[in-house]
Structure 1
Amino acid sequence: MNEASPAARVVGRQGELAGLHRFVDGLRRSFAADATRVVFVEGPAGIGKSMLWLVGCEMALGRGVRVLRSRPAETEAGYAYAALADLLREAWPEAKRVLPRQHLHALSVALGIADDAAMNIDQAIVQTATANLLLSMSTEQPLLVAIDDAQWIDAPSAAVVQFVGRRSARRQLGFLVTQRSEAESTVPFELDRAIPDAPVERLWLEPLSLGALHKLLDDRLGLTLPRRQLLRLHELSGGVPFHALEIARALRRMPAIPPGAELPIPASIHDLLRARTGRLDPRQHEALLLVAAAGNLALTTLRAAGGDPAAVSAAVDDGLLAIDGDILRPGHPLIASTIYDTTKAARRAAHARLAGVTDEPEARARHRALATIGADEAVAAELEDAGRRTLERAAPERAAELFRLALDRTPPAGHQARDRRALALADALYRAADLPAAGAILDTLVPRLPPGALLAEALIIRSEVHWYTATSFDAVADVEAGLVAAGDDPRLLAELHYRLSIFADFDLHRALDHARSAVALLEQHDPKGLLASALMIEFITSVMLGDEPLIARLERALALEPKNPTDATTIPGIWWAAIDRLDEARRRFEWMLELDRNSGHLSGEASLLTRLAEVEIFADHYHVARDWADAATAAARQQGDESADPARRVRALVDAHVGLHAEAWATAQEGTRRAEARGDHVIAAAWLVVLGTVAAARGDHAEVLDVADRSAAQLAAIGMVEPLRLGVDHEQLEALAALGRLDRARELLDELEGRQARVPRPWLEAALVRARALLRLAEGDLAGAIAETDVVLGPAGPSWRRLDRARTLLVRGIILRRARRPREAGAALDEASAIFEAIGAHGWLERARAEAGRLGRRRPGSEALTPSEQQVAELAAMGLTNRAVADRLSLSPKTVEAHLARVYAKLGIRSRAELGRLMGPRADAID
């Protein structure tokens, strides 16, 4: 399947795609008694039924199944046999070949192919002829009858399909049918009763998730929306792909939309909805307008606002309103938008009536604002208070709308109030992860503010925005300006030094000085609970500068940390991940993610998802890491960070571990170039870790040394002595030993052993074992080299990650082969290969198998295929393309190619034809 294929365009339907895979695969074989014979896809208009139908047809064609298609239209529902004519159009040559003359003539007349005015169409003959034709075709080749939008099929055609269903038992004939419905309905053509022995797979399509909607917009339109707009689009469209795409297309044609403003509704959707709402009488329209203006409304409040509860019943019956106990809601967000899109005077009147009867302060303030024309300080002040209360309740998007309304209602002379409210709006937008909008407001606000607390607070927020969207230098410049603006305010000075300790990552000595200044101030005055985080930053920065880890300082910080801190830090998780305490690291990042989501503070979500991805890489859970990395990239793009470098870097690191070396290398090369151009040493060093990982897995020792030199330069530039997991010197050590550069290798070994003594960590211990073994090998001490790797013998062994154990076994196998102990070498290499394959480290797997191939062992037969190779071989033997095999097994096409190359080598064959002959007897038995 290519990128333009229907399957490549389906988003968020993994379960449904799996159901289609199972169904279509069944068409390749004689049906078992309980095999699925019918797939019924249903759901509301625009939900994506037709796209799945196209995917099912494409899957069937790709697996050698004949497909007959019909797509009835509403305009043809009154024409007899219109759908049947569509269905049999491509089968007519077979009809002329297999049908008796009488049946062929009757069918040709029914379908309008022949004109015989004297002949009355006998429905029984048409049904029998069609059934005989399709059943005959299914004996030659598996056959799929695919009908899209079955609700529009004409009655005579429907009767034919029902008849065919009853005759299709035990044949390689299946049905794929879609139907529009608002709730689960009966199976079309009574196929569930027509084929009683076979279950029907019903696929009810639910609305897309928020993440799936983000991917849909990116894939189809190349559009990334700020999170607040994405949330509103999801709400407004109800997760229906068609509606979401139409609204997004209209949105793309418009200038920027301010916070709280409504998204555009395209005319194509408006026309459909107005046709439904245009029949309302004035009392019903009034009631719906009050509900739309409120979002949801109690019947008692509707009555108090002058609405007529008696007018509600018909709207509920028509689906325009929904009622839950005493609460009225719009039947669909698009209906509310259409009703609300009335005259401005009518909207203002509705809000004025609601403001007079609403007890909830935030809602009353909003209604007063929307009922008011022009500036009104009393209304603006009420809105500002409501916005602050809403922000405290972890609803930054809603708070941003209230602050925007407050700004709009602020009188021109109220400069101080206007600036204060603009800052509140920027803060709410920052918390809601709409970084571009927050930055735009701050860029306008900061230049006009005089020195003082308000300017310092504005610069703190802008530094946070720059930290995510620009560079450390930009963030530090903001905070340094804030130090000048803050004067002698100890609260602000403490927070500013604290921010500098984070942002000055380009100079660790400077960062440590600011961390110590922050701690000293916060020990005296800590209203925000920042002392714990400042102590953690002081701890990790001193470690990276080469000091002994002061664990007592970290433990004190953790003890001081509030239960719900306002500014939790990732430092404990980073530390635990560095020393392989991965469960604790994972819990820390998950806790922070939950904390931020519960508080509505979403600007750090992408960073936390990236950290979780790193933990899963270190745990050898590469599929989980990939999912976290993809989620991090999506979150970064939603908050306006188009580069999303940390998330993309960790995704490239996943690729490097699973053997997608070309992709990882290209991405990391470009990322390194960008970081070096910006002078961003930390990000450059992080990208170089990806390059070092790829070079090491390839066995390219010279490239490892080049990358290590570049990495060392980046780390030295910021004063980093202990990079934790940010360096590649452990890979450099192995490369030096392998290349025979023994003096430099011994120097680096001494350095790394010193670091390991200061900060013990299993992954570095494993690297040191391998390096010492390779050094002894280079020195000709085979016995000593083997002894170094004895640590991995036995079922228990050291508490290393699986990748480190397998890499050490690989080194042991190489040494044993050099020592001419092939049996022991083979055992070590086989165990290494098994681990590499189990965790999905395919690049290292190739290295291990290449080493095993040098042992000169007898080529194994087909029974020596690994489970993954066996699966790929069997599917390829069935005639599936590499892409089809990849889709079936959730692999990349390149991984499939690699598996097949190994299969060919193991089986001693050179072509798919030989593979098919060799595995043919087993291919039909694949489940």
Structure 2
Amino acid sequence: MTPSTTVHSPLRLYGRSGELAILEGLLVRLWRGDGSALVLAAPPGLGRTALLHEAAAAHRPRGPVLHADERGLPAPEALRELAAGRSLLVCADDAHTWGRASRTALITAARGLGAGSRVAVLITADDGPAFAGLPALRLGPLDDDAAAALLDRLAGGAEERPRGTSKAFSGTEGLDPVVRAELLREAAGNPRLLTALTGRLTPDQLAGRTPLPCPLPGAEGVLAAHADRLDGLPAHTRALLLLAAAAQEHEPAGAGADALLLLRAGTRTGLPRDFLDGVLFGSAATEGFLQRAGSRVHFSHPLDARAVLHHASPARRRAAHELLAALLAGTGGHPVPLASLVQLSYAASGPDHALAARLEAAATSPYPHAQRSFALARAAALAVDRPLSSARFAAAAEQAALSGDPALARALLARTGPSAGEPRHGLVAYVHGLLALRAGPAADAHEALLAAAGLLGPYDPLRALDALVGAAEAAWVMGDAAGYLEAMGRVEPDPYDRVSAAYRAGMCAVLAGRTEAGHALLRQCLDPVDPAPVALLRAGVAALVLGEVAVAYRTGARALAAVRAKGPDALLPQALEHLAYAELRAGRHAAARTHALEGLHAARRTGQPNSSVHLHAVLALAASVEGPAEACAAHSDAALAGAGPHGLAQAATLAIWARARADLAAGRSDEAAARLGPLVRPGPRQGHFAARMLAVPCYVEAAVLGGRGAEEAGELRAAVTEFARWTSRTTDPQAPAQLARCRALLAPAEEADARYAEALAHHDRAGGDFERARTQLLYGQWLRRRRRTREARTPLRDALVAFQRCSARAWAERAAGELRAAGEQGPSVRPAAGDVLSALTPQQQRIARCVAEGATNREVALRLSLSPRTVDHHLRNVFAALAIRSRTELARLLGPEVP
């Protein structure tokens, strides 16, 4: 027990702002004269000692610091005397290691403090029961942001290098992103472990130039500290903990162990049945190590399981794994279950070629991709031959990617090394391409998959085919028709898979301009016999290219059901995206929004930002119908922010179209035309080849309503001519009606009536509330502007009702505004003032109220202390937001309901 004379400032603490605030509060109370006690409880490595030192350093200028040990601690009265009229901070580090008598004395001293004592006791201990009853602050792992910041500092400068670590901390060449992700995954938020792992890697390993070792070195110290808690446990408890830790090895991360398997294993090793029942199914305690969740048993802290295995002797570990392998093998028949082989792999004392081969052979369907990945990684760890090990790591990475765990896939690829041999290197390139297709620039994915196909062709023709199809998919999302044709053109026809051959030939024919022949081939793909998700997704794409929207919707629903039933998990976002897009084309906007939101969550969970971009575009399209405009803008901006860096032209086209359609709903025709013009006109900014024709009707409407019909007449007629050619080739039920609507917008007055009637007749055959309502809205608006007000009310009223029926709120408001301008009032036309004002900003609401009361712009400016120009600007936005055109309409709209 020695008073501190100097306090060494610790390295910066990350992710502990909340804990530091609590310690600051304790010190502030101490400086005011009120003592207290606090236990910093945490497993080893989470920074409890660093927080203790931080508190000591903060207190040192205000008063003495006493570092206590188990040799004895004075009574509270003696502590007050030591304070000598100044505030005293007593620090007891790792107090759970003290003897029982010393701990009791410390607890007694801590409980004797309080108001006016001028003494505070700060204790660090594990999270066991040793100091139960004292106020405790329990530390958790660092969150992702804090752990990443700590790793950046560790790899960023030699001046902050922890003592005894390697020169890898020079940080001059950067930290490879894959290595970074693996270090963060392995450390699991433990700062001491993260520091140790980083310090044991070489500069080449940190920079990603050489493979990472498996397992990562450096965890020994932290695991040993965790294992120290085991020594005082009863033998029965230690034996069960070893079985529980070993039983987790064949399970997915975080799944824990099967309680029934542990019961069988514990019974086989002679553990008492009442003890096993109490721990596994009752309320018996294991000193905080284990906790139950249904039929699963979990370690309270992930590192505890690793510490238990690290602490056990090699012989005891092997015995536990061999016992579990035997129990999992069941009757001993063939094939041996994959879980049993994984347990045997942990029982192996060194490389085992035969066992590795058995693991590799067993890691096939029907096992989930995550289990197959794990088994292949274990097979790689048992291999002696470096190229063979690299090939297995690459195969494990492929399965991890399919399971929806791209971070693990990249970590496994980091262990393959640069000299894996030609066919194996092809597999590495293939997995890199798959990951880039879902999370990187589409151009990178295209080139990686083309290269992989060339390397894999002589050795693995099936994967080479998949690589070419993936390269074509990358070209498609980029809007690179030539790249798509190049990739598909390298595919060798399979005489035994006529549907796939018809799909590839049909898509190539359509993109090459041979539309009739291409459509004939694609029709062979619409009803696949193969129920596999990939075949169903392919059929859905064919249906959309053909314009068979109803077929695309039904096939998309089947594909989603197949993915949910069979996997792989990585396909879930794509299946939801395809279904949502088909629902948009079918006019099912609410359903599309629901599925797209689910897809967005799945894309984030499985690490697929490119899918997130596409799903944001789908959500923007749905919001352009349903509203609100803010949601459309937010989703559109999110899609464009991701589409630009990764070259996702299809998503960008859809996002811009959605934003323009929302502009149309709000009456901002000029803005809509400005957005859509570059997409539909020839030129470098032209929209995606598969989506640009869908935007032509909106472009024609925006240009005509915005007054550009005369000055852009040539471009508009050229766009309509191209749209007419597309309509003649597609079976999209809405296309003929949209074409007639475009022609009505451009027709002279004497022809427009007939064109609108033609469009409505097509709508009657096609169905679909939204598109029909848009045509009725334009027809009614055309009639009203030609002073045929009485005639205009019928189509406008029908449009309003149809928009309301399909929840197209913004469009309904525009139709209501037109109907009011046509002289019709009523509950369905005139919303409550409160609902109207909710669409405006607070400033716009104040101005609208003043104008509705009859104030001029100058009077409003004086009343609200604004300039007349500002009032005029806001008033124009009010008119646009409310779909009205005059002060009289505003007064009529708000009327006496204005508060």
TM-score range, shorter chain: 0.5 to 0.7
Distance in structure 1 (CA, Å) of the matches to 2:791 and 2:883: 28
Q: TM-score with structure 1 length normalisation?
A: 0.58
After superposing the two structures, state which structure 1 stretch, 636-645 or 749-758, moved more. 636-645
Q: 1:147-178 CA distances to partner (integer Å, 9 max, x unpaired)?
A: xxxxxxxxxxxxxxxxxxxxxxxxxxxxxxxx
Distance in structure 2 (CA, Å) of the matches to 1:620 and 1:220: 45
1:780 to 734, 746, 749: 749
Aligned length: 622
Contact 1:446 1:459 in 2 (8 A): no
Distance in structure 1 (CA, Å) of the matches to 2:696 and 2:581: 19
Q: Measured at CA, do residues 383 and 336 of structure 1 come closer, stay the same or move farther in structure 2, by a change above 3 Å?
A: farther
Give, as a single letter, the amino acid of the residue that structure 2 aligns with 1:468.
R
Deviation at 1:468, TM superposition (A): 1.0
Q: Measured at CA, do residues 660 and 726 of structure 1 come closer, stay the same or move farther in structure 2, by a change above 3 Å?
A: farther
Contact 2:680 2:687 in 1 (8 A): no
What is the SS of the residue equivalent to 1:798?
Answer: helix
Query: Which residue number corresponds to residue 377 of structure 1?
Result: 353
Q: 1:588-633 CA distances to partner (integer Å, 9 max, x unpaired)?
A: 2232233334333122221222222223333443333222222222
Deviation at 1:691, TM superposition (A): 3.0
1:635 to 602, 608, 612: 602
Deviation at 1:572, TM superposition (A): 2.9
Give, as a single letter, the amino acid of the residue that structure 2 aligns with 1:350.
A
Deviation at 1:310, TM superposition (A): 4.6
Q: Percent identity?
A: 22
Distance in structure 2 (CA, Å) of the matches to 1:709 and 1:361: 61
Contact 1:472 1:504 in 2 (8 A): yes
1:556 to 524, 531, 538: 524
Query: Which residue number corresponds to residue 286 of structure 1?
Result: 239
Q: 1:441-498 CA distances to partner (integer Å, 9 max, x unpaired)?
A: 436637323323x333332232221111112211221133224424656656544443
Q: Measured at CA, do residues 496 and 221 of structure 1 come closer, stay the same or move farther in structure 2, by a change above 3 Å?
A: closer
Relative contact order (C-alpha < 8 Å, sep 6+): which is higher? 1
Q: Measured at CA, do residues 492 and 394 of structure 1 come closer, stay the same or move farther in structure 2, by a change above 3 Å?
A: closer
Deviation at 1:313, TM superposition (A): 3.5
Deviation at 1:429, TM superposition (A): 0.8
Query: Which residue number corresponds to residue 99 of structure 1?
Result: none
Distance in structure 2 (CA, Å) of the matches to 1:569 and 1:331: 36
Deviation at 1:804, TM superposition (A): 0.4
Q: Measured at CA, do residues 353 and 336 of structure 1 come closer, stay the same or move farther in structure 2, by a change above 3 Å?
A: farther
1:363 to 314, 317, 339: 339
Distance in structure 2 (CA, Å) of the matches to 1:253 and 1:854: 71
Distance in structure 1 (CA, Å) of the matches to 2:672 and 2:238: 72
Contact 2:442 2:647 in 1 (8 A): no
Query: Which residue number corresponds to residue 841 of structure 1?
Result: 808
What is the SS of the residue equivalent to 1:654?
Answer: helix
Deviation at 1:376, TM superposition (A): 3.7
Q: Measured at CA, do residues 686 and 815 of structure 1 come closer, stay the same or move farther in structure 2, by a change above 3 Å?
A: closer
Distance in structure 2 (CA, Å) of the matches to 1:328 and 1:636: 27
Distance in structure 2 (CA, Å) of the matches to 1:493 and 1:331: 41
Give, as a single letter, the amino acid of the residue that structure 2 aligns with 1:542.
A
Query: Which residue number corresponds to residue 681 of structure 1?
Result: 649
- Asked if 1:750 is matched to 2:721, the reply is yes
Contact 1:469 1:641 in 2 (8 A): yes
Deviation at 1:292, TM superposition (A): 5.7
Give, as a single letter, the amino acid of the residue that structure 2 aligns with 1:769.
A
Distance in structure 1 (CA, Å) of the matches to 2:360 and 2:527: 36
Query: Which residue number corresponds to residue 429 of structure 1?
Result: 400
Q: Measured at CA, do residues 507 and 754 of structure 1 come closer, stay the same or move farther in structure 2, by a change above 3 Å?
A: same
Distance in structure 2 (CA, Å) of the matches to 1:564 and 1:671: 30
Query: Which residue number corresponds to residue 759 of structure 1?
Result: 730
Q: CA RMSD in A?
A: 4.8
Query: Which residue number corresponds to residue 896 of structure 2?
Result: 909
- Asked if 1:469 is matched to 2:439, the reply is yes
Q: Measured at CA, do residues 716 and 373 of structure 1 come closer, stay the same or move farther in structure 2, by a change above 3 Å?
A: same
Matches within 5 A, 1:191-590: 282-283=235-236, 286-287=239-240, 289-290=242-243, 293-294=246-247, 295-296=257-258, 297=260, 302-315=266-279, 318-319=282-283, 332-334=297-299, 342=308, 343-345=311-313, 347-359=317-329, 360-386=336-362, 388-389=363-364, 392-411=365-384, 414-442=385-413, 445=416, 447-452=418-423, 454-486=424-456, 488=458, 494-505=465-476, 506-518=479-491, 521-524=492-495, 532-549=499-516, 550-558=518-526, 562-564=530-532, 567-568=534-535, 570-577=537-544, 581-590=548-557
Distance in structure 2 (CA, Å) of the matches to 1:658 and 1:426: 41
Distance in structure 1 (CA, Å) of the matches to 2:524 and 2:652: 33
- Asked if 1:856 is matched to 2:843, the reply is no
Distance in structure 1 (CA, Å) of the matches to 2:882 and 2:284: 56
2:665 to 659, 678, 697: 697
Contact 1:508 1:720 in 2 (8 A): no
Distance in structure 2 (CA, Å) of the matches to 1:798 and 1:750: 23
Distance in structure 2 (CA, Å) of the matches to 1:317 and 1:278: 25
Q: 1:608-663 CA distances to partner (integer Å, 9 max, x unpaired)?
A: 22222223333443333222222222222222234621122222222222233344
Q: Measured at CA, do residues 288 and 649 of structure 1 come closer, stay the same or move farther in structure 2, by a change above 3 Å?
A: same
Deviation at 1:541, TM superposition (A): 4.1
Give, as a single letter, the amino acid of the residue that structure 2 aligns with 1:368.
L
Distance in structure 2 (CA, Å) of the matches to 1:480 and 1:534: 19
- Asked if 1:645 is matched to 2:623, the reply is no
Contact 1:712 1:727 in 2 (8 A): no
Q: Measured at CA, do residues 750 and 362 of structure 1 come closer, stay the same or move farther in structure 2, by a change above 3 Å?
A: closer
Distance in structure 2 (CA, Å) of the matches to 1:874 and 1:430: 49
Query: Which residue number corresponds to residue 624 of structure 1?
Result: 591
What is the SS of the residue equivalent to 1:606?
Answer: helix
Distance in structure 1 (CA, Å) of the matches to 2:340 and 2:881: 65
Matches within 5 A, 1:813-832: 813-832=780-799
Deviation at 1:422, TM superposition (A): 0.8
Give, as a single letter, the amino acid of the residue that structure 2 aligns with 1:805.
R
Q: Measured at CA, do residues 497 and 703 of structure 1 come closer, stay the same or move farther in structure 2, by a change above 3 Å?
A: same
Deviation at 1:818, TM superposition (A): 2.9
Query: Which residue number corresponds to residue 126 of structure 2?
Result: none
Give, as a single letter, the amino acid of the residue that structure 2 aligns with 1:352.
E
Deviation at 1:403, TM superposition (A): 2.5
Query: Which residue number corresponds to residue 70 of structure 1?
Result: none
Contact 1:369 1:409 in 2 (8 A): yes
Contact 1:577 1:585 in 2 (8 A): yes
Give, as a single letter, the amino acid of the residue that structure 1 aligns with 2:276.
V
Deviation at 1:503, TM superposition (A): 2.8
Distance in structure 2 (CA, Å) of the matches to 1:714 and 1:429: 42
Contact 1:546 1:720 in 2 (8 A): no
What is the SS of the residue equivalent to 1:744?
Answer: helix
What is the SS of the residue equivalent to 1:522?
Answer: coil
Q: 1:216-263 CA distances to partner (integer Å, 9 max, x unpaired)?
A: x9999999xxxxxxxxxxxxxxxxxxxxxxx987699958999999xx
Q: TM-score with structure 2 length normalisation?
A: 0.60
Deviation at 1:730, TM superposition (A): 2.0
Distance in structure 2 (CA, Å) of the matches to 1:393 and 1:672: 39
Q: Measured at CA, do residues 365 and 838 of structure 1 come closer, stay the same or move farther in structure 2, by a change above 3 Å?
A: same
After superposing the two structures, state which structure 1 stretch, 336-345 or 824-833, moved more. 336-345
Deviation at 1:873, TM superposition (A): 10
What is the SS of the residue equivalent to 1:426?
Answer: helix
What is the SS of the residue equivalent to 2:896?
Answer: coil
What is the SS of the residue equivalent to 2:494?
Answer: helix
What is the SS of the residue equivalent to 2:448?
Answer: helix
What is the SS of the residue equivalent to 1:611?
Answer: helix
Contact 1:822 1:855 in 2 (8 A): yes
